Structure 1
Amino acid sequence: MNSSSPTPGTLPGWVRGIDRLTDAAAALAKWALLLACVISGGNALIRYGVGTSSNGWLEIQWYLFGAGVMLGAAQVLRLNEHVRVDLFYGRWPARRQVFMDLFGLVVFLLPVMGLLAWLSWPLLVDMVQSGETSPNAGGLIRWPAMALLPAGFGLLVLQAFSEIGKRVLWLQGRIEMNTHYEKPLQ
């Protein structure tokens, strides 16, 4: 191991930086989901208790739920809690699991998330420029919800690079196996 390589158990600054960004997005996602639930409950109470409703309040709860999903997805990847069809993977040795992770990250996740981020960006720009709003009475402007798409896909791309880096470092013996499954920063 040369002097510029991290000591076993430490991650390079760029990996830690991406993980911190993912943790921050996940914290926003958590609060967005809580707020969406509170607004949803409030909407139900007002609709059935008072007999009135607001499209704006319904739409903001959808926007917040979208924020929870799009901003929280990278954290799910970071914590290795994503859905996996585990017919063989769990029985494989760690080295094979890491190679399978690398294959999935490089061949599937990066290209698809990169493409979706790229394709969603012009839609966001069009919505911002046009000031597009919901066609519903009292509806909201749409670009904040659309901004969640390139942001969420971009976060997944960044987190994929972080996960690739961790797995390559593990294969090189520069970090311990569980280092890349550490808990979120507090």
Structure 2
Amino acid sequence: MFLSLSRGIDKFNEVIATAVSWALLAAVIISTVNSLMLYLFKSSSNAWLEIQWYLYGAVFLLASANTLKRDEHVRIDVIVGRFSLRTQVWIDLFGYLVFLLPVCALIFWFSLAYAEVGYLSGEIRNVGGLPAWPAMMLVPIAFLMLIVQGVSEIIKRVAFLNGRLEAGAFRKVAPTPADEIAAIKAANAPE
């Protein structure tokens, strides 16, 4: 039952990350059009600048849970990589339970009030700009998604320790920095 829940959480965060990746394209297009308008017609607006900021923020915040799912967050592989896989999983569990979940829960809790104040006040940061509350709402949403993904990662690690799941279900394809460097070099090698 818990592994089904974990798979559902993983799928949800993959879908959100895929959808929000289109926001990056939109931000690039808006940035290009805004630059052209400024260069050609000496005309721009704060709203155009702020929508870029909102879109970049959405990409960063809403894709962070999928980054955790893909095991692509910042790690200290140089040290942890020397331990056995089982020890690495225990370190992951410790990190999720002691650091990730409590910190994300605190940020989620305090950002709710921040987003509520922004929504109720109708705050606009710059003349001619956009309301700030949509960007403010991204913070609690993103950290709630991180909490839920953290629970999914804990489920997978516990299942691995109990022999019910293979490590490939939660480990990167290229597990070592040396493998990643070799893949980058191979991709950039002249043909």
Read off the aligned partner of 1:130 and give its amino acid letter. Answer: S
Equivalent of residue 167 in structure 2, options 148, 154, 177 = 177
For residues 87 and 171 of structure 2, the distance between their equivalents in structure 1, rounded to whole angstroms, comes to 17
Aligned to 1:94: 85
- Misfit runs of 4+, over 4 Å: none
Matched, 1:160 2:150: yes
For residues 118 and 172 of structure 1, the distance between their equivalents in structure 2, rounded to whole angstroms, comes to 33
Equivalent of residue 121 in structure 2, options 118, 130, 135 = 130
1:137 Cα offset (Å): 2.0
SS for the counterpart of 1:92 is coil
SS for the counterpart of 2:158 is helix
Aligned to 1:111: 102
Gaps of at least 5 residues in structure 2 are: 174-191
SS for the counterpart of 2:43 is coil
Aligned to 1:14: 5
Aligned to 1:83: 74
For residues 24 and 55 of structure 1, the distance between their equivalents in structure 2, rounded to whole angstroms, comes to 31
Matched, 1:69 2:89: no
> Identity of counterpart residues, as a percentage?
46
Gaps of at least 5 residues in structure 1 are: 1-5
Aligned to 2:33: 42
> Could you tell me whether the CA contact under 8 Å between 2:23 and 2:59 is conserved in 1?
yes
> Could you tell me whether the CA contact under 8 Å between 1:29 and 1:69 is conserved in 2?
no
Read off the aligned partner of 2:86 and give its amino acid letter. Answer: R
For residues 46 and 161 of structure 2, the distance between their equivalents in structure 1, rounded to whole angstroms, comes to 52
Aligned to 1:32: 23
Aligned to 1:141: 131
- Provide the TM-score with structure 2 as the length reference: 0.86
Larger % of helix: which? Answer: 2
